[in-house]
Amino acid sequence: MSISLNEEATPTEPDTALILEHLPGLVWTTDATGTISYCNTRLGEYAGIDFGMSRSSHWASVLHPDDAMYAVQYGQSARRTKGHTVINARLRRNDGEFRWFELSASPLADGGKVCWLATELHESASDRTQEEIESRFRRFVNSLSVPALLITPAFELEFANQAALRWYGFLPEGSEQEALADMEPRKFDEILLPLKAHMKGEQTAVVSYQAQHADGTPRWLEAQVVPILEKSGELTNYFVLQNDVQDSRDAAYLLGKEMEILDMVARGTPSASVLQELCNVVDDLIPDLLCCFLELSLDRKFFRMGAAPRLPSEFREIFDRKSVAADKNACSFAALTKKAVEIQNLVETDHSNTSMGQFMLANKLNYCRAIPILSPYGNTAGIFAILRQQHFELKPRELQIVDRVAHIAGISIDRTRHEEALVKRETQFKRSQAQLVAAQRISSTGSFTSDIQRGENIWSEEFYRIFDLDPELEPSIDAVRERIHPEDLELFNVEMQRGLAGEGSDFVFRIIRTDASVRFIRGLAKVTHYIGDHPIFMGTVQDITETKRAEDALRRGEEALLKAREELAYVSRAMTISALTTSIAHEVSQPLSGILANANACVRLLALDPPDIASAADTARRTIRDTMRATEVVKRLRAMFNRQSPAMDEIDLNEIAREVIALSARDMRERSIVLESGLASGLPSVRGDRIQLQQVILNLVLNGIEAMVEIEGRPRRLLVLTSREEEMVTLSIVDAGVGIAADSAERLFEPFFTTKRNGMGIGLSISRSIIENHGGSMWATPNDGPGTTVTFSIPRTPPLAPSV
Ligand code: ADP
């Protein structure tokens, strides 16, 4: 037998050591950590361990696992309270069998050490059975997966099962080995104190309290407390079954909040408030997480701040109304790729260069996850971003919360977007509706939809107005029929029959309005679709009375134009003949002198000896007669075609120019010519012959039109300009036609000069003579660009001489 002491061993007195060696029990000392610092040989032999060799053995290693927990506890409390404690526990014999011992723990004055003396118990059979029962009970409790505790009637912890040890973090997850050395009994105060306060007598009870979980977070527990009584009725223990109710509390809270928030969504609360509330939920459930929501504009080009209650205001500035593609930060990335972006350690990524990265650095946030919120059509509608100081894998509970929150945010954002889109569409619709009404009003066109067979009709506002019907009136074909002009009623009925047969129609009819006015209406209808087998018509009714009047006026204008042209042709002819007469006169006077010379010769013949009187006289008579006749012809022609002096009226050149433009408007339209006029205001009047001057202008306009007929590839524009130059009033017709050569400008005015197949070549020469007759002049010049300008100017009416 030997005494085994390790280096720092106490006791040091050899006598004491001998005493201890000869005591009839197992003796050892433990230090503050529970490590055996001394033991006698009996313990070594009993346990089969050479404690001298195996240093730093925790004394729990010789204890039965079921007893270790509370036995170690007792040792600690003996050490703390410096009082003597006696407990029963099983110690492992060298053959592996456990024997019951009475352990007496005595604190040593020296440095928190405890001296243990274990005496083997030779208990009665019934005691043993009792202990076995107890041991079996503990084994059972230990096998429970629910944390369970045994508490003494004095509210001290006696035993904690493995699940409890794991929950509190005294046993690593999944570990079966006992690791009691670092157990902090005070942790159990979180249950002991409320229990002490709560437990009255021996009733079972349910106690709720918060305790710190192995992961460091406080969690709510709900404990079933059952008092364990002896046969005698004496309370031996409280049995405590701990239920971790944090998850179900969270779930209930989350569910409650979900209902509340979904209710907000259903009531149409703007998404900003809903998102704010969702952030608060996350705050409550995962306090170390910072979260925010960004929404995307309807065109998905811009971010809008949704909610970020706990983030500094700079965060808003980074995103609110900023382009989604502005920089490649996590939120933009997630929005564009529609995939969640996770940054576990910001400083290690190039995200730190982005505006959001800079913000995170400045706020010591190293972890971020940007989750896209997708619309039902798969487009990004928003972003849910969560930020943390450092990366922790999201726990299943946290993931669930984040998922639920993102889901509800999606519903809310989606709803807001729909509402926005709806409002936008409604505004657009109202605008286009207003436009349609205005357009119908301006064009005097009403519209209708009609199911003739069923007698169902929808009329536009303008429809009612055109037919002069009360807007409150139920639409019906009969109401329209009442307005139809009696003479057109048959036509109208025939068209309705065509409609019933499913044919479209396009016809003009008259209606009589309540003020007895007759209006011309053009009705147009087409089958657009069928409901069952009856055709549905859509169509328009247009009040074409004004157009018809204008057309009639135009027709009258055209007739007038025709007449004007005929007159011009007449005058042209007259003027031509007048010009011809001049040349004929010139031509005729030459032969006349010849005739006269012949007559003289004839006279000379008569003077011959003998004179041939008879033939000479005949010749002379014939000659004289012809001469007289020729002279008479010339005279008569002159008399007939001699220009009468023009009727001199006060004339506004602008006014007659406008009249000519109106007359030639149709010609221009047909030839796709655009007329522009630059008629000077305040133009002084001229004195002249209205018809003649109109003929001149018409001639110039027609020449301009004809010069542009063949032109392709440039605008055909005709410009009519008037101006005043000192005492003269000038009118120019500028065309963009074939143009003239600079040196042929004068030839245009020569009579019979023409380049046209059917031209007479007298229009310009007559025009010039008319203008000259008015004391003016006329000339043509090639334009700088394409085309020609023909101008005339005539003197203005002299202002009235001041009366003396
Ligand atoms: P007509 O039109 O019958 O030929 P006009 O005396 O009016 O007779 O015109 C004489 C000619 O002058 C035309 O054939 C044409 O060659 C030329 N002419 C007249 N006006 C223009 C014009 N605006 N541009 C180019 N050539 C013109």
Confidence of residue 789 (pLDDT cuts 50, 70, 90): very high
703 CA to middle of ligand 1, Å?
6
pLDDT in tens, 492-504: 988 888 877 777 7
- CA-to-CA dists, residue 556 to 26, 217, 553, 570, 585, angstroms: 142, 100, 5, 21, 42
Average pLDDT rounded to a whole number, residues 238-265: 89
- Backbone angles phi and psi of 408, in degrees to 5: -65, -40
State residue 708's pLDDT score. Answer: 94
| CB-based contact 105:88 (threshold 8 Å) | no
CA atoms of 552 and 202, how far apart (whole Å): 115
Confidence of residue 581 (pLDDT cuts 50, 70, 90): low
pLDDT in tens, 104-137: 888 887 667 888 888 887 755 455 566 666 777 7
Asked if 136-244 and 647-804 have one fold, the answer is no
State residue 639's pLDDT score. Answer: 46
CA atoms of 290 and 282, how far apart (whole Å): 8
- Of 710 and 564, the structure prediction assigns the larger pLDDT to 710
Positive/negative CA dihedral, 499, 502, 507, 513? positive
State residue 372's pLDDT score. Answer: 94
- Ligand 1: which of 568, 733, 748 to mutate, most ligand atoms within 8 Å of CB? 748
- Of 332 and 204, the structure prediction assigns the larger pLDDT to 332
| CB-based contact 252:234 (threshold 8 Å) | no
State residue 7's pLDDT score. Answer: 41
Average pLDDT rounded to a whole number, residues 540-548: 89
Is the pLDDT reported for residue 324 higher than 70?
Answer: yes
700 CA to middle of ligand 1, Å?
9
Nearest CA to ligand 1 atom 9: 761
- Among 303-307, 434-438, 606-610, the range with the most confident prediction by mean pLDDT is 303-307
Average pLDDT rounded to a whole number, residues 413-425: 87
Closest atom of ligand 1 to CA, residue 737: 24
Average pLDDT rounded to a whole number, residues 621-643: 59
Enter the CATH code of domain 136-244.
3.30.450.20
- Ligand 1: which of 755, 762, 781 to mutate, most ligand atoms within 8 Å of CB? 755
**For the chain, which residues make up each domain, given as ranges?**
7-128, 136-244, 249-421, 444-543, 647-804
Confidence of residue 744 (pLDDT cuts 50, 70, 90): confident
CA atoms of 677 and 664, how far apart (whole Å): 13
Is the pLDDT reported for residue 176 higher than 70?
Answer: no
Report, at the CATH architecture level, how domain 647-804 is classified.
Answer: 2-Layer Sandwich (3.30)
pLDDT in tens, 640-682: 444 455 568 899 999 999 988 887 888 888 889 999 999 999 9
Q: Which residues form ligand 1's pocket by a CB distance below 6 Å?
A: 703-704, 707, 735, 737-738, 740, 748, 753-756, 759-765, 788, 790
CA atoms of 27 and 25, how far apart (whole Å): 6
| End-to-end alpha carbon distance in the chain | 170
650 CA to middle of ligand 1, Å?
29
737 CA to middle of ligand 1, Å?
11
pLDDT in tens, 751-773: 778 888 877 777 888 889 889 88
CA atoms of 239 and 146, how far apart (whole Å): 12
State residue 640's pLDDT score. Answer: 42
Positive/negative CA dihedral, 297, 300, 301, 307? positive
Is the pLDDT reported for residue 3 higher than 60?
Answer: no
Closest Cα to residue 190, out of 162, 235, 160? Answer: 160
Is the pLDDT reported for residue 250 higher than 90?
Answer: no
- Of 423 and 575, the structure prediction assigns the larger pLDDT to 423
752 CA to middle of ligand 1, Å?
10
Say which CATH superfamily domain 444-543 falls into: PAS domain (3.30.450.20)
Nearest CA to ligand 1 atom 25: 739
Is the pLDDT reported for residue 2 higher than 50?
Answer: no
Confidence of residue 56 (pLDDT cuts 50, 70, 90): low
User: Class of 249-421 per CATH?
Assistant: alpha beta
Nearest CA to ligand 1 atom 12: 748
Nearest CA to ligand 1 atom 13: 754
State residue 394's pLDDT score. Answer: 83
Confidence of residue 803 (pLDDT cuts 50, 70, 90): very low
State CA 658 to chain mean position distance. Answer: 52
Least confident of 165-169, 282-286, 600-604: 600-604
Secondary structure class of 67 (helix, strand, coil):
helix
Closest atom of ligand 1 to CA, residue 747: 12
State residue 684's pLDDT score. Answer: 94
* Beta-strand pair 148-151/114-120: unpaired
* Mean pLDDT (the chain, rounded): 82
State residue 86's pLDDT score. Answer: 76
CA atoms of 561 and 552, how far apart (whole Å): 14
Confidence of residue 13 (pLDDT cuts 50, 70, 90): low
- Ligand 1: which of 749, 754, 768, 791 to mutate, most ligand atoms within 8 Å of CB? 754
State residue 552's pLDDT score. Answer: 83
C-beta atoms surrounding 628 within 10 Å: 11
C-beta atoms surrounding 402 within 10 Å: 20
- Backbone angles phi and psi of 345, in degrees to 5: -140, 95
Residue 254, phi-psi category: left (phi > 0), alpha (psi -120 to 50), beta (remainder): alpha
Is the pLDDT reported for residue 579 higher than 70?
Answer: no
CA atoms of 245 and 253, how far apart (whole Å): 12
Confidence of residue 342 (pLDDT cuts 50, 70, 90): very high
Nearest CA to ligand 1 atom 14: 754
297 CA to middle of ligand 1, Å?
66
Is the pLDDT reported for residue 731 higher than 90?
Answer: yes
Closest Cα to residue 135, out of 47, 71, 43? Answer: 71
- Percentage with pLDDT > 90 across the chain: 27
State residue 349's pLDDT score. Answer: 87
Is the pLDDT reported for residue 268 higher than 50?
Answer: yes
H/E/C letters for each residue in 696-761?
HHHHHHHHHHHHHCCCCCCCCEEEEEEEEECCEEEEEEECCCCCCCHHHCCHHHCCCCCCCCCCCC
- Of 418 and 620, the structure prediction assigns the larger pLDDT to 418
State residue 1's pLDDT score. Answer: 36
CATH classification number, 7-128, choose in 3.40.50.2300, 3.30.450.20, 3.40.50.300, 3.40.50.720: 3.30.450.20
Average pLDDT rounded to a whole number, residues 294-299: 90
- Percentage with pLDDT > 70 across the chain: 85
